[in-house]
Structure 1
Amino acid sequence: MKLNHSAIVNLLFILQFLSLHCLSLSQDFDFFYFVQLWPGSYCDTKHSCCYPKSGKPAADFGIHGLWPNYNNGSYPSNCDPDNVFDKSQISDLMSSLEKSWPTLSCPSNDGTKFWTHEWIKHGTCSESELDQHEYFEAALKLKEKINLLQILISAGIEADDGFYELEEIRKVIEEESGVSVGIECNVDPCGNSQLYQIYMCVDKSGSQFIQCPLIPRRRCGCSVQFPKF
């Protein structure tokens, strides 16, 4: 069968689309960033925050996400948009997610939008290692392994609106956890640099903390505020 020029062009287009689609589904990565945020800093900005429908979260670091990354600093995203977030697949994890991975976005909601975003943007890029249930369960287990708030409190660093040396915060967490960490700050309406997010690196299985191949550099002051929540 002889194909005309138009048919050949269409065939090449289809083959290119399928190739790119398959590539997106098979995205690999080198490690995870496990990111936890301090709710007091999230709320103490120019942007408002809202408590989830389940009520005010505990004054504790909450999970922001488990993000596949490459060693060169780039990262895959939205690898399989067809693999939609399915609440029924993680029904046994819901109470733990509400506690440890709460949403603070407005208007007040039950967290589904937040978890959907994290799964579609980041979780689908870990499919070579983790399915949807394993992905969320892995993040919850990682939070249980290292209690950031307790580590800081034990070192006299408390969420009391006081200011603490950034390097002291880093040192305390790294000494207790045995691995490197990245610290991200935000700025409150008064211009104060605040402790906002802690980045830790995790192996591809999503189960073990590792030394970071690349530590994210975020602008922070030498002294940062640890706001109340």
Structure 2
Amino acid sequence: MRGIIIVSFLILQSLVASSSQSAPDFNFFYWVNYWPGAICDSQKGCCPPTIRDTASDFMIHGLWPQFINGTWPAFCDQTNLFDISKISDLISKMERKWAEWGVWTCPSNETNLWEHEWNKHGTCVQSVFDHHSYFQTNLKFKQKLNLLNILKQKGIKPNDGFYGLDEIKNAIKCVIGFAPGIECNEDVKGNKQLFQFYICLDNYAKEFVECPYVPDKSCASKIKFPKFPKKRFSLSESLSAMSSVSTT
């Protein structure tokens, strides 16, 4: 009997050790989405040459591991860099939900953004995700949480109107149970406008959680929700705009 107890204890100890070895060494995730209209309407932004019919929506920026002290890991594994062949079955959805709208380049190039997100953030979360599951998890939460519809249901619409910062936060909180962080940029007139939502997930990206700290950046008490532009830009217009923009 004693021998059975000892063996059982050793098995349990082994399982605990194995579990602890694979546990994430970061504390939580930011799941970040941005509003394309805030790029098209900013001093430093430009829009792609063709505006897709499905584009009037928030777009995924990425899933970012974070520490509770306000820092984050980055570029953790240079031996496992982005490989688009590993997500070939997800590309059509990603093109609609995770497009690059001039954040880094204009005209847009989604592949550059996907590559950047995996190389910087995905390589640091391989205790939780491989290539495919990292991108698939972003799409899963995008399917689960329609930010634009949530805002519209509370009368908050992309109409160049100004809405209370707390009003916007509370609209999201009513659905997920926790207030998001909000990042603002400025339009050409210097008005603060809604740019990005930071939504916090646990360190396995399973559930929404309270943000350990809220990254409210450069927002006023009332912020603009810019329209999504109806104009379709020509390639020459986009290139002209790009030449006047200082990129980082």
| TM-score when normalising by structure 2 | 0.78
In 2, are the aligned partners of 1:38 and 1:195 still within 8 Å (CA)?
yes
Shift of residue 95, structure 1, vs aligned partner: 0.8
Task: Give the distance between the partners of 2:32 and 2:188, measured in 1 at CA.
Answer: 24
Partner of 1:103: 100
Partner of 1:152: 151
Partner of 2:215: 216
Shift of residue 179, structure 1, vs aligned partner: 1.6
Task: Give the distance between the partners of 2:93 and 2:201, measured in 1 at CA.
Answer: 20
1:33 and 2:54 aligned: no
1:124 and 2:120 aligned: no
Deviations 1:67-96 (CA, angstroms, capped at 9, x unpaired): 000011110000012211100100010011
The percent identity for this pair of structures is: 48
Partner of 2:236: none
Task: Give the distance between the partners of 1:171 and 1:54, measured in 2 at CA.
Answer: 30
Partner of 1:179: 178
Alpha carbons of structure 1 residues 209 and 115: separation in structure 2 relative to 1, 3 Å? same
User: Once superposed, what is the RMSD of the aligned Cα atoms?
Assistant: 1.8
Partner of 2:195: 196
Deviations 1:85-119 (CA, angstroms, capped at 9, x unpaired): 10010001001111111111233244111100011
Unaligned stretches of 5+ residues in structure 1: 1-25
Shift of residue 50, structure 1, vs aligned partner: 3.3
The letter for the 2-side match of 1:181 is P
Partner of 1:166: 165
The letter for the 2-side match of 1:87 is I
SS in 1 for 2:157: coil
SS in 2 for 1:209: coil
SS in 2 for 1:210: coil
Alpha carbons of structure 1 residues 52 and 177: separation in structure 2 relative to 1, 3 Å? farther
In 2, are the aligned partners of 1:54 and 1:110 still within 8 Å (CA)?
no
Alpha carbons of structure 1 residues 80 and 53: separation in structure 2 relative to 1, 3 Å? farther
User: How many corresponding residue pairs?
Assistant: 204
Task: Give the distance between the partners of 2:45 and 2:193, measured in 1 at CA.
Answer: 16
Unaligned stretches of 5+ residues in structure 2: 1-22, 229-248
Shift of residue 53, structure 1, vs aligned partner: 7.1
In 2, are the aligned partners of 1:27 and 1:79 still within 8 Å (CA)?
no
The letter for the 1-side match of 2:69 is N
Partner of 2:41: 44
Moved over 6 A (4+): none
The letter for the 2-side match of 1:73 is G
The letter for the 1-side match of 2:63 is L
Shift of residue 57, structure 1, vs aligned partner: 5.0
In 2, are the aligned partners of 1:142 and 1:207 still within 8 Å (CA)?
no
The letter for the 1-side match of 2:92 is S
Task: Give the distance between the partners of 1:195 and 1:82, measured in 2 at CA.
Answer: 37
Partner of 1:79: 76
Task: Give the distance between the partners of 2:126 and 2:49, measured in 1 at CA.
Answer: 28
Shift of residue 34, structure 1, vs aligned partner: 0.2
Partner of 2:14: none
1:58-77 equivalences under 5 Å are 58-77=55-74
Task: Give the distance between the partners of 2:45 and 2:145, measured in 1 at CA.
Answer: 29
Shift of residue 185, structure 1, vs aligned partner: 0.6
